[in-house]
Chains A and B, each alone.
Chain A
Amino acid sequence: MSRRVLIGTIAGAVVLAGALAAALTLATGSKKPSSAVGAAAVAQMFHGIPQQGPILGRADAPVTLVEFADPQCPYCGEWAKVALPVIVSRYVRTGKVRIVFNGLTFVGSDSEKALRAALAAGRQHRFWNVIELLYENQGTENTGWVSDSFLHRIGSSIPGLDVKRMLSESSLGSVTSQIGQAAALANQAGVDATPTFAVGKTGGTLQVVQLRSFKASGIEPSLDAALAS
């Protein structure tokens, strides 16, 4: 085999590797114009896990993790993208932990619009799919990025979600009360930053957790301690 043929063979392999990289990029949903970024991965992450409104996981999970977060808060987004997939895989899917999301809207009007859509999707047991996709596609604070068309695109990326129903139910009084209850709970717990987490035995007293990092390892010791207690 000559050097010319060898170079051609190696170049072919490089092209093949590039095609593989492109396939992986497409598989993650990053380049799909019609669906939200991360749609396939988010659907896979929550597939088969029970959702009841903003609560993710089995009702009889021994430990509860309460999250206070704003849909526009960038650090909440980082935690959702980096740590949550690990926590869901290791603790929620295995029935050890359930997560309760308390949505706050202190950043601004886009927060409320986003949260209302997510809570409305919760009526169809898709709250976590919506809030996770909102974080995956998070825009710049209060620039009007949470438009109706944006929410439509997010909703259309979620299997089994009735998008029209989600959008129409986002203004329901029950959704407004859920937002008010979460805000009251945050005040009561002294939450002054997001994301804030509290962990404890389900039905027992919860302790606010000081995150060591926005990676899963930043909260896993607290979850393990609660499970062991």
Chain B
Amino acid sequence: MSDRRLRAAILALSLVGAGIAGYLTYAHFADVQLVCATGGCETVQHSRWSKLGGVPVAAIGLAGYVVLAATAASATDLARALGAAAAVGGFTFAAFLIWVQGAEIHAWCQWCLGSDAVLALIAVAAVARAWRAAPPGGASSRRAPRRPGSGRARLAAPARPRR
């Protein structure tokens, strides 16, 4: 898949994730009942695990999706690396929250699990995107112009055709 398609996929998935996180954030502040098929959404959302430093975890997730969308909108090496790091780091935290739902809260929130699935897909796409663009080893993908006469330049120079 081309970089352009991966960027489009990450952007689209980030918008889906932002929609889920936005809904959970809205429900938190407006104190409205969540649409929930698993029956545990309210329990999870009102648990003591639902906030970090007074900030709803859903709002942190929303901010995360905005960052991921921003990295997908840019075609630079930095954006690719930041996107991969943010997606993998975000999914690591999401995996911890999945464990919390099962082991600590004993309830499952379908919206949270849906968001986790979206984040997993973004992580795969973002790592693939960054990995393909990064050259193996320590060299930079955007090499500085070599000075004529340097050892590396001589090694890289095409051999002269023999007469």
Contact = CB atoms under 8 A, between A and B. Distances in A.
Contacts of B43: 82-83, 86, 215-216
Given A6-B81, A27-B53, A217-B39, A20 B93 contact: yes
A99 B139 CA distance: 67
Nearest to B142: A1
Given A20-B93, A215-B40, A2 B134 contact: yes
B46 to A, nearest CB: 5
Question: For the side of the interface on B, what is the size category?
Answer: 35 or more
A193 interface: no
A82 B137 CA distance: 51
A10 B87 CA distance: 9
Contact of B127 (A10, A40, A83): A10
Contacts of A90: 31
B47 A6 contact: no
Nearest to A218: B39
B62 interface: no
A13 interface: yes
Contacts of B82: 9
Given A10-B88, A13-B85, A14-B92, A2 B140 contact: yes
Interface of chain A: mostly helix, strand, loop or mixed: helix
B77 interface: yes
Nearest to A83: B43
Question: For the side of the interface on A, what is the size category?
Answer: 35 or more
A94 to B, nearest CB: 8
Contact of B89 (A13, A38, A41, A78): A13
Interface in A115-165: none
A210 interface: no
A10 B134 CA distance: 13
A6 B31 contact: no
A13 B88 contact: yes
Interface centre among A1, A4, A89, A217, by most chain B C-beta atoms within 10 angstroms, is A1
B96 A21 contact: yes
Interface string A1-45: 111111001101110111011011001110000000010110000
Contacts of A180: none
Interface string A99-112: 00000000000000
A2 B136 contact: yes
B107 interface: yes
A5 B93 contact: no
A177 interface: no
B81 A1 contact: yes
A115 to B, nearest CB: 24
Given A2-B139, A20-B93, A38 B86 contact: no
A85 B48 CA distance: 9
B4 interface: no
Interface centre among B78, B90, B92, by most chain A C-beta atoms within 10 angstroms, is B92
22 contacts: A1-B77, A1-B80, A1-B134, A3-B136, A6-B81, A6-B134, A9-B82, A10-B89, A10-B127, A13-B88, A17-B89, A17-B96, A24-B52, A27-B51, A41-B48, A82-B106, A83-B43, A89-B31, A89-B46, A215-B39, A216-B42, A216-B43
Interface of B: 31, 39-40, 42-43, 46-49, 51-53, 57, 77-78, 80-82, 84-86, 88-90, 92-93, 96, 105-107, 127, 130-131, 133-141
7 closest A-B pairs (Cβ-Cβ)? A13-B89, A41-B48, A13-B85, A17-B92, A21-B96, A17-B93, A17-B89
Given A3-B134, A23-B52, A89-B31, 5 more contacts: A10-B89, A10-B127, A12-B85, A17-B92, A85-B48
